[in-house]
Amino acid sequence: MRHMLNPLDFSLEETESLLELAADIEKDRFRYAHVCDGKKLATLFYEPSTRTRLSFEAAMLNLGGSVLGFSSADSSSASKGESVSDTIRVISCYADICAMRHPKEGAAYVASTKSSIPVINAGDGGHQHPTQTLTDLYTIRSLKGRLSNMTVGLCGDLKFGRTVHSLINALSRYEGIRFILISPPELKVPDYIKESVLDAKNIEYRETTSLDDAMEELDILYMTRVQKERFFNEEDYIRMKDCYILDKDKMKLAKPDMYVLHPLPRVNEISVEVDDDPRAAYFKQVQNGVYVRMALIMTLLEVEKPC
């Protein structure tokens, strides 16, 4: 039995198969409308994340399956002192596969060791969120036709941004990737990632504090939200959060085939005036998230492609 705890759990080849399957689903979603008939997905969200939860639910429903679960810890047995290990054993009696979001790093891993159904990590603290990363890969691949040989700008909170770290890891497995890391000095990519991933694999990158300067070089710009809860005081947050706002003027500096991604939700780091730019791909990314999750559920349940 396979789980999906970390985006790197799948080899390059397995990842390629998954993205291929997602692409086939995108072409004709309705061919897949009954492949998971009678299967149940449990969504175990120990902290709320509507977007992620509903994406999983839409994916399972699109496959003909059904859904049960909880959307916050208050309504779970966690409050009665039950361990994640016990909960997953119970849930294994109720569902065929589960997606778990938990505030503690490693929670999904612990669950997987006791589970008799596949566990998908839907976010464990600041650690991993593999279906977001797979969605990012799928979106880049679908927009650019490839996952290699391009310059990817990562902008915003590169210090705490879980999705950014995962994406660096995941893209580092492809050839000819070059990163431009755009952030205020306080929110730079941590040294351990630079050393263990970028330097270790001889991946080209440069750091800059200026989004304007980077724009014209980019094939992909990955924007992130600067989360209030990451800052010690309100002032630092306010000073920081408006530094890296993408607007129409900045978009003029970019290539005509440079695409903008964002894991959402955004607050104001992308001006709404950018939404109508054909290069704005962040809502397309949401749609892709459903296809990727459909492909992942099928893969982990070892469901056959319909013929």
**Rounded Cα distance, 305 and 195, in Å:** 41
93 is a contact residue toward a copy of itself (CB under 8 A): yes
50 is a contact residue toward a copy of itself (CB under 8 A): yes
| Nearest distance in Å: CB 75, a copy of itself | 4
Q: Are 222 and 281 in contact (CB under 8 A)?
A: no
113 is a contact residue toward a copy of itself (CB under 8 A): no
How many binding residues for a copy of itself (CB under 8 A)? 47
- Among residue numbers 1 through 30, which ones bind a copy of itself (CB under 8 A)? 30
| Nearest distance in Å: CB 212, a copy of itself | 25
- Among residue numbers 122 through 141, which ones bind a copy of itself (CB under 8 A)? none
- Taking the alpha carbons of 227, 165, 168, 50 in that order, is the dihedral positive or negative? negative
Provide CB contacts within 8 A for 158, sequence distance 6+.
164, 181, 182, 183, 187, 188, 189, 224
Q: Are 209 and 182 in contact (CB under 8 A)?
A: yes
For residues 81 and 278, which CB has a smaller minimum distance to a copy of itself in the complex? 81
**Rounded Cα distance, 136 and 264, in Å:** 12
Among 8, 24, 72, 178, binds a copy of itself (CB under 8 A): 72
For the annotated catalytic residues, the residue numbers are 51-52, 80, 101, 129
| Nearest distance in Å: CB 141, a copy of itself | 18
- Among residue numbers 270 through 289, which ones bind a copy of itself (CB under 8 A)? 272, 283, 286-287, 289
For residues 67 and 147, which CB has a smaller minimum distance to a copy of itself in the complex? 67
Among 61, 203, 245, 303, binds a copy of itself (CB under 8 A): 61
| Nearest distance in Å: CB 138, a copy of itself | 14
Among 66, 172, 208, 271, binds a copy of itself (CB under 8 A): 66
58 is a contact residue toward a copy of itself (CB under 8 A): yes
Among 7, 69, 130, 184, binds a copy of itself (CB under 8 A): 69
Query: What is the binding site for a copy of itself (CB under 8 A)?
Result: 30, 33, 38, 40, 42, 48-51, 54-55, 57-58, 61, 66-72, 74-77, 79-82, 85-86, 89-91, 93-95, 264-267, 272, 283, 286-287, 289-290
